């Protein structure tokens, strides 16, 4: 996901040209979770370093919530999802920030942030699991790495890939429009939606709750309060319908 107000300055056609060129140079890898090739020019170490810096900066400017119950709730939900995935929850950092905007985000390096307004909007464990699962899915699918790589390719800064500490330093120098702050594509959002539903089902949560939450967020927008989460994750009828279809399929398939 991205922070509000940020957009890509490069036309999709240019990104496609660059993507095709670099895939030809074997910078693409096949991701079986989404059954497609991903262009990744930036190492995991570079992305984790960028994520750590961005996470630290965000914690300095945004106070964490004093509501310990919210943090405990978020931690319990995330731990259950992560264990079902085969992950060690101790490797992940979860934080709830005191912020009245309805938003959540993920940063490379296994970091998940939730605004207090988002936690308050969730009416059940299942709904909160849908939010956390969606952000975990973005990280597991390496969407941030892919988006950064597309932007680097468009800028012609391909020398960063595999260039060690110097490359990481240059990556930081590009500015705040890179890394975790870049907007994900519509395809990324649909992919994260779908994988999050599978995480929920595996952990024993009701996947249908995701559609209920998205619909309620859309209702918030109709009443004049636009959730930031929706500004970066367009919750149109097509998307909600896709979530309902996949949730229904998972429920019918059973454990």
pLDDT above 90 for 130: yes
Query: To the nearest whole number, what is the mean pLDDT of the chain?
Result: 77
Q: If you average pLDDT over residues 197-207, what whole number do you get?
A: 96
pLDDT above 80 for 117: yes
Among residues of the chain, what percentage have pLDDT more than 70? 69
From the list 146, 139, 148, the residue with the least C-alpha distance to 170 is 148
pLDDT above 70 for 225: no
Burial class from Cβ neighbours inside 10 Å (0-12, 13-18, 19+) for residue 20 reads exposed
Beta-bridge partners for 36: 31
Among residues of the chain, what percentage have pLDDT more than 90? 41
Q: What is the pLDDT of residue 182?
A: 53
3-state SS of the chain?
A: CCCCCCCCCCCHHHHHHHHHHHHHCCCEEEECCCCEEEECCCCHHHHHHHHHHHHHHHHHHCCECCCHHHHHHHHHHHHHHHHHHCCCHHHCEEEEECCCCCCEEEECCCEEEEEHHHHHHCCCHHHHHHHHHHHHHHHHCCHHHHHHHHHHHHHCCHHHCCCHHHHHHHHHHCCCCCHHHCCCCHHHHHHHHHHHHHHHHHCCCCCHHHHHHHHHHHHHHHCCCCCHHHHHCCCCHHHHHHHHHHHHHHHHHCC
pLDDT above 60 for 149: yes
Question: What is the rounded CA–CA span in Å between residue 147 and residue 145?
Answer: 6
What confidence tens digit (pLDDT) does each residue in 185-201 have?
A: 778 888 999 999 999 99
Phi and psi torsions of 29, nearest 5°:
-125, 150
pLDDT-wise least confident of 108-112, 157-161, 180-184: 157-161
What confidence tens digit (pLDDT) does each residue in 18-50 have?
A: 444 445 444 677 777 776 777 777 788 888 888
Q: What is the pLDDT of residue 29?
A: 77
Q: What is the pLDDT of residue 11?
A: 43
Q: pTM for the whole thing?
A: 0.76
Q: If you average pLDDT over residues 198-207, what whole number do you get?
A: 96
pLDDT-based confidence at residue 103 (cuts at 50, 70, 90): confident
From the list 132, 155, 128, 143, the residue with the least C-alpha distance to 216 is 128
Question: What is the rounded CA–CA span in Å between residue 220 and residue 22?
Answer: 42
pLDDT above 80 for 156: no
Q: If you average pLDDT over residues 135-151, what whole number do you get?
A: 84
pLDDT-based confidence at residue 160 (cuts at 50, 70, 90): very low
What confidence tens digit (pLDDT) does each residue in 54-80 have?
A: 898 889 999 999 999 999 999 999 999
Q: What is the pLDDT of residue 98?
A: 97
Distance of CA 230 to the CA centre of its chain: 13
Q: If you average pLDDT over residues 207-226, what whole number do you get?
A: 78
Dihedral class, residue 129 (left if φ above 0, else alpha if ψ from -120 to 50, else beta): alpha
pLDDT above 50 for 120: yes
Q: What is the pLDDT of residue 36?
A: 76
């Amino acid at each position: 996901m991205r922070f509000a107000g940020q957009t890509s300055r490069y036309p999709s056609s240019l990104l496609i040209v660059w993507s095709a060129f670099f895939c030809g140079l074997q910078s693409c890898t096949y991701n079986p979770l989404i059954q497609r090739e991903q262009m990744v020019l930036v190492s995991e170490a570079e992305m984790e370093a960028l994520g750590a810096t961005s996470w630290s900066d965000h914690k300095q400017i945004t106070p964490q919530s004093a509501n310990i119950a919210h943090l405990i709730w978020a931690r319990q939900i995330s731990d259950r999802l992560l264990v079902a995935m085969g992950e060690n929850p101790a490797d992940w950092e979860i934080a709830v920030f005191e912020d009245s905007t309805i938003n959540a985000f993920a940063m490379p390096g296994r970091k998940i942030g939730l605004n207090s307004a988002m936690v308050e909007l969730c009416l059940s464990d299942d709904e909160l699991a849908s939010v956390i699962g969606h952000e975990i899915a973005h990280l597991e699918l390496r969407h941030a790495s892919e988006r950064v790589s597309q932007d680097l390719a468009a800028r012609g800064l391909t020398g960063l890939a595999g260039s060690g500490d110097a490359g990481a330093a240059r990556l930081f120098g590009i500015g705040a429009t890179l890394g975790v702050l870049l907007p994900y594509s519509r395809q990324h959002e649909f992919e994260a939606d779908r994988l999050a539903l599978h995480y929920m089902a595996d952990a024993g949560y009701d996947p249908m709750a995701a559609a209920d939450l998205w619909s309620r967020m859309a209702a918030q927008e109709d009443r004049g309060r636009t959730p930031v989460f929706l500004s970066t994750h367009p919750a149109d009828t097509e998307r909600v319908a896709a979530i309902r279809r996949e949730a229904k399929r998972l429920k019918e398939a059973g454990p």
